[in-house]
A and B are shown apart, each in its own frame.
Chain A
């Protein structure tokens, strides 16, 4: 059987796995008694026996659950494991709403400087002035980008940022003696939005998007009551569409005393173009790992700073960073003087390593470079959409911002679904787009190329998607059983959930 990939030309990128593929067992299966991967210094103080201070059963006498491996074993293990991952540094990773842009190497080098990586959160502020200044500058930069007044860097991820934002909204209303119970969330929203609202004991009311994929003032006006604490909105939304009525939506909510929360997941599209604060948003989170190039780390750590307008500033988490100018020059300190604060969200300052990377990114790009990100990201998404139109069903065919959504509807007769397409894309060397999201599009494939991908890379990706359509008609079984070229075939997720095996054990658990 010929592989249509071979028609894609000699320059195709992202071959899946054609070369060496390594086998590698679990660490525990590699373990050999007596091996060591450590090198500890000799004791230069008298030894102390904990049994002198503690009763016998308070102490552990062995740690049989940990492996015994040499450094060579460990290095080979993790190096081999690394070759089983797709990654931005290997090729296009068009995961919609995740903004898998390139993570500059200089950011990594700077985050590893000992003055950042080996500094401690509780050292006196006088001995952490470099960190405090960096954090303060990053705060100001995020405020400028978003049109917000103050920014807290503390939330460790976008979801924790949402939690902080909704907590501040709740505190604001309660301080005014109002006990509002409802949060409005569009049906196209990320699942974190309703979950964050629910954690704050709010009832979630879903707002339907219009047939054109965006929110309409009438829908919000109809749901807006004095019970509503906030509208949560993602702009551009998860269909990649700019919420054209945003200013009017905000006015409707504000007129009844509500606030508007902005989910900043898709901020990349707006850098230097428009600012959420100017559109009427009162509070929003940023995802430094999306918009500001900090790495996704295999699923975290992220970083989710939150910006607020002045009306919410009294409720910000503590500590905030205070800049003072005095006779001795400029200095920075920690400010706990927020009596109405929602309190602390992180044991320390948040994901400082990510602040360093994000600030390096701001400095590398400047205002023109940031706007260029938005422009090229939007150019790439519209280019992909233009090239897919015709072969793929586009459920809402309008100019998009940073991402576009197509569906498997045109493939219905072939029996090939979105999941099959995603798995077959892997054979062509691509990480699949986000699939089956947003929920309002049946069989959605949500494609966010970001500004990092060149035209010829997009052309190859588009060619792969077109080839899969052809295959779906000519060889549907080949698509339905993909991937074929990976180390693993499709994995049985049902089995994993039905009989969960969540750790390795020396003997198989009794069935």
Chain B
């Protein structure tokens, strides 16, 4: 590119001369006269020199090639971000620059494409969660959970939080970070031997703002939401249900129908590329009576001067650009592009397809479970049933078992040692529609095969 004009900046030397003359200054440098000399950098930034497009592509492709990925290998790793098949139409439509090079739809007359999509997303989230109002999305499942807790604290004016066992540990970390500055008492409940949380009822008192229950839990089991809702409501607390694999909502009863007041979590599983976990798609839905406590953007229906139906950002008196320090949160974006992916994906799968896909995931996971149960050396330490992810006990160490799977080109799951050491050597294993029967059989064989070749050792 040396010597070539920048292809992203259109100014010719003649343009620059004419523009400077119109402004009435001699040089580009004179435009920066307001920056005092002693504050100027006065050198070039110490960065690599510009590269041509083909060089940039070669460099970044080489970096990409050093990452394992789910398009090249059987993939049993989940833990909050899930490998699903992404229909070609999703990328094709979401890659339209009219969507991705637009910004927040502040000018509704020329943003109806984005606004109608968000309204459709809000409607789908309500249908999936069994609740009445959804916002236009949040950064990710972890911040959505933290925002849900802050919502419950505002709605109840209480400051005590009960967290059932099984909340994604990173979500727990983010919750602690968000609540650091506030005087909040968080009680973390232990695990029942079957893998679910111990019952929440004994932990709830009259100062409890909310109970947070992830279902399916981080370890896989579906939790007893009806009992949690009854226990929470008996003391005036709210039930927040967290979902990290949104496809599970197509199999299980809507949490709202079981009494949840807020359902939030991560919707990446609905057709959003994994992309090492970000950008992700936090969602948050609640009941009508809490609508003014919602954080983030909301789209509502209205009419224009000609009586035609249209959509606008609404209830913005909750938000920072109006309320400043009194806002419900400091958020000023949503994950527009990610919710576009998810809305397209859900439109394609639809009422029937999404349920079929959920059944497919369930069947793959049940088959994997059965193979584990039949295989000496492997175990299923947690008895409670779940969706497409569960814990597998391995004979030696999780790291060694994963290394054996890797030798066969399989990404075998998540080593639970840093998260749940008392489970012993164990993996969190996820089977989606991408898992073939052959890859499941191979995974099980490798995990159990302690006498097989030692990975990395010379033959």
Contacts and interface: CB of A to CB of B under 8 A. Distances in A.
B454 interface: no
A195 B305 contact: no
A311 interface: no
Contact of A343 (B176, B258, B334): B176
Given A63-B128, A85-B99, A129-B67, A144 B45 contact: yes
A496 B105 CA distance: 15
B50 interface: yes
10 contacts: A84-B110, A195-B329, A199-B181, A344-B173, A344-B174, A345-B177, A364-B51, A382-B25, A437-B321, A490-B109
Contacts of B63: 115, 130-131, 133-134
Nearest to B91: A112
B350 A87 contact: no
Interface string A293-329: 1011111111100000000000001000000000000
Interface in B293-324: 297-306, 308, 310-312, 314-317, 319-324
Contacts of B48: 362-363, 366
Most buried by A among B67, B276, B278, B360: B276
Interface string A234-248: 000000011010110
Interface string A331-361: 0000000000011111111111110100110
A502 B134 contact: yes
A510 to B, nearest CB: 13
Interface stretch (B75-83, B157-165, B191-199, B203-211): B75-83
B74 to A, nearest CB: 13
B422 interface: no
Contacts of A422: 107
A15 interface: no
B455 interface: no
A362 B362 CA distance: 44
B141 interface: yes
A62 interface: yes
Contact of A106 (B56, B278, B300): B56
B347 A27 contact: yes
Interface residues of B, number: 200
Interface stretch (B36-44, B232-240, B374-382, B444-452): B36-44
A363 to B, nearest CB: 5
Given A65-B126, A75-B92, A344-B173, A455 B142 contact: no
Given A110-B61, A127-B68, A66 B140 contact: no
Contact of A59 (B49, B60, B136, B252): B252
Given A38-B356, A64-B351, A191-B332, 6 more contacts: A119-B68, A344-B142, A383-B23, A489-B306, A491-B304, A502-B314
B230 interface: no
A98 interface: yes
B436 A44 contact: yes
Interface in A350-397: 350-354, 356, 359-360, 362-373, 375-376, 378-380, 382-383, 385-387
Interface string A65-79: 111110101110111
B423 interface: no
B249 to A, nearest CB: 8
A371 B28 CA distance: 11
Most buried by B among A89, A364, A490: A364
A123 B80 CA distance: 12
A378 B303 contact: no
Contact of A85 (B59, B98, B106, B332): B98
Contact of A351 (B124, B278, B325): B278
A86 interface: yes
B212 interface: no
Nearest to A35: B350
Given A110-B64, A348-B277, A504 B120 contact: yes
A122 B414 contact: yes
Nearest to A375: B28
A486 B354 contact: no
B344 A241 contact: no
Most buried by B among A67, A104, A451: A67
Interface string B324-350: 111101111111111010011011111
Contacts of A85: 98-99, 102, 110-114
Interface string B364-402: 101100000000000000000100000000000000001
B283 interface: no
Interface string B115-146: 01101101110111000111011011111000
A118 B268 CA distance: 12
Most buried by A among B71, B301, B329: B301
Q: Which 5 A-B pairs have the closest CB atoms?
A: A65-B127, A348-B277, A115-B64, A366-B50, A121-B277
Interface stretch (A2-10, A153-161, A217-225): A153-161
A213 to B, nearest CB: 11
B453 interface: no
A286 interface: no
A121 B362 CA distance: 23
Interface stretch (A47-55, A251-259, A465-473): A47-55
A507 to B, nearest CB: 14
Contacts of B40: 273-274
A16 B110 CA distance: 9
A349 B277 CA distance: 7
Contact of B51 (A58, A123, A366): A366
B107 A364 contact: no
